[in-house]
Amino acid sequence: MKLGFLTACLPNVPLEELVKWAADHGFEALEVAAWPIDNARDYAGSSIDVASLTPEESERIKRLFAENNLVISSLAYYDNNLHRDPEVRARFHSHLKRVIDAARMLDVGLVGTFVGRNIDRTVEENLEEYEKVFRDLVSYAESREVRLMFENCPMEGWQKPGVPGNLAYSPELWRELFRLMPKGSVGLNLDPSHLHWLGIDYHAIIPEFKERIFHTHAKDTEILKDGMNQYGIYGRQLGPHIHGGGWWRYRMPGLGEIDWRDFVATLVENGFDGTLSIEHEDPIYSGTEEMVKKGLVLAQRHLAPLII
């Protein structure tokens, strides 16, 4: 197993600088952000401009990683592939295919994305759309020897307050999503932080889905008891929206409630030998490049002793 991080947390740091910093601080892999250059999403970035990537540039990037003893664990582009607006959806799909093409040029076997959700349709209708949409996307990826994987973030409130904006957030839905796609072609970028605040046992699901866990995220969750007492599980209803509803928040690994020793051990016991990638969304270690890097170093020091 390798330890890395998702580069979206440092969107203004050039790739060459990111790679050298990561190598100097004990990381072995980078999950490289590949959103469009012109992008206003939060927690997004463009460490590689896949729209203009050439074979010559891809060779330069591969040498950069090799010279620093790092690997690219995945390319990351998480957006709503079932968006209700056909033009927006088509734009997302077009960019996702560029990310897949870039993965092929870079010899990267994984691309992470969201299933998303058409907020105007029922879950059942969304699953019908998903089968049609992802048959094409999976076929495109397979033709380039790339596998797609879904992060299990609910993206609550993404399109409508209080409603999950990404279908791939629970074991019930994973079973159906995977049933509709060829085995081995799509899987999970498993993140225990989402499962924890949803009340799902993140250890217990690993044996059932072990063949679908292609990659993992390391992000922690802290339950805010005072907030829970004020707002309950539906979160704050009056005033500005608070991420986490005011009763939970994401933290760096080791500062929340995830048992990382047990999580890593359970992954290993079930045959996982991929990458554990730190996804930095901790509001305390944010705001400046210096603070973000401090958070990454803190997480690396907590997780590195657990990884063999």
Q: What is the DSSP string of 35-63?
A: --SS---TT--BSS-GGG--HHHHHHHHH
DSSP state, residue 240: S
Q: Among residues 189, 196, 221, which one has the least CA distance to residue 74?
A: 189
Would you write out the chain's pLDDT as a tens digit for each of its 308 residues? 999 999 999 999 999 999 999 999 999 999 999 999 988 777 788 999 999 999 999 999 999 999 999 999 999 999 999 999 999 999 999 999 999 999 999 999 999 999 999 999 999 999 999 999 999 999 999 999 999 999 999 999 899 888 999 999 999 999 999 999 988 889 999 999 999 999 999 999 999 999 999 999 999 999 999 999 999 999 999 988 888 999 999 999 999 999 999 999 999 999 999 999 999 999 999 999 999 999 999 999 999 999 97
Cα separation, 145 vs 177, in Å, equals 21
Specify the pLDDT at position 54. 96
89 near 118, Cβ under 8 Å? no
| Neighbouring C-beta atoms of residue 210, cutoff 10 Å | 15
Q: Among residues 15, 22, 20, 21, which one has the least CA distance to residue 5?
A: 22
Question: What pTM did the predictor assign?
Answer: 0.96
| Neighbouring C-beta atoms of residue 53, cutoff 10 Å | 18
Full set of structural domains in the chain with CATH: 2-221+252-306 (3.20.20.150)
* CA-to-CA separations, 183 to 172, 178, 202, 255, 269, in angstroms, rounded: 17, 7, 22, 36, 22
* CA-to-CA separations, 148 to 64, 83, 142, in angstroms, rounded: 25, 18, 9
Give 205's contacts (C-beta < 8 A, 6+ positions apart): 171, 195
> At 307, which helix (H) or strand (E)?
none
| Neighbouring C-beta atoms of residue 269, cutoff 10 Å | 11
Q: What 3 state SS string does 57-105 have? A: HHHHHHHHHHHCCCEEEEEECCCCCCCCCHHHHHHHHHHHHHHHHHHHH
Give 203's contacts (C-beta < 8 A, 6+ positions apart): 259, 262, 263, 266
4 near 30, Cβ under 8 Å? yes
